[in-house]
Amino acid sequence: IILERMEFPEPVISVAVEPKTKADQEKMGLALGRLAQEDPSFRVHTDEESGETIISGMGELHLDIIVDRMKREFKVEANIGKPQVSYRETIRTRVNDVEGKHAKQSGGRGQYGHVVIDLYPLDPEGPGYEFVNEIKGGV
């Protein structure tokens, strides 16, 4: 008999979880590991940037049940919050001829600047960013 492999959807909600006491840290790790083994739609990992333990599931009720089971079955009290998300921006589409001008006159010679920039997303496999100085007829 060959059974077809079951596919489980990716979790849709994540929250940060931390034990209420340092003594519960190890117990919480064991509890979350056991719960993740039992429930293939539940995931747990440690965020590399913030160091928080993040639990992910199929909805708020799903995560509430996980936290409740952790309290009842493993006697681990935990604080539940939202994970801290690093603020990141990236250039997603090409833009050409973005122009900026600076003019300031306050006696004397004054200041003037004129910039035209082309921006585009880089190939993730590429060498990184590149600055090309194409000053024409200026200093």
Read off the CATH number of the domain in which 70 is found: 3.30.70.870
Domain assignment of residue 46, yes or no:
yes
pLDDT value of position 88: 60
The residue among 66, 50, 69 whose CA lies nearest residue 58 is: 66
Assess if residue 26 is contained within a domain.
yes
Q: Is residue 66 part of a domain?
A: yes
How many domains, in total, are found in the chain? 1
Confidence of residue 84 (pLDDT cuts 50, 70, 90): very low
> What pTM was estimated for this model as a whole?
0.56
For residue 111, tell me if it sits in a domain.
no
Asked if the structure places residue 41 within a domain, the reply is yes
Domain assignment of residue 45, given as a range: 13-81
Which string of DSSP letters, residue by residue, matches 109-125?
T-EEEEEEEEE-PPPTT
pLDDT of 12 over the 90 cut: no
What does the alpha-carbon distance between residue 19 and residue 53 come to, in Å, rounded to a whole number? 10
Given phi > 0 = left and psi -120 to 50 = alpha, else beta, which region is 75? left
**Confidence (pLDDT) at 122:** 83
Of 18 and 109, the structure prediction assigns the larger pLDDT to: 18
Residue 2 covered by a domain: no
In a domain, 62, yes or no: yes
With beta carbons less than 8 A apart as the criterion, state whether 69 and 57 touch: no
Angstrom CA distances, 32 to 39, 72, 76, stand at: 10, 13, 10
Mean pLDDT for the stretch of residues 18-28: 90
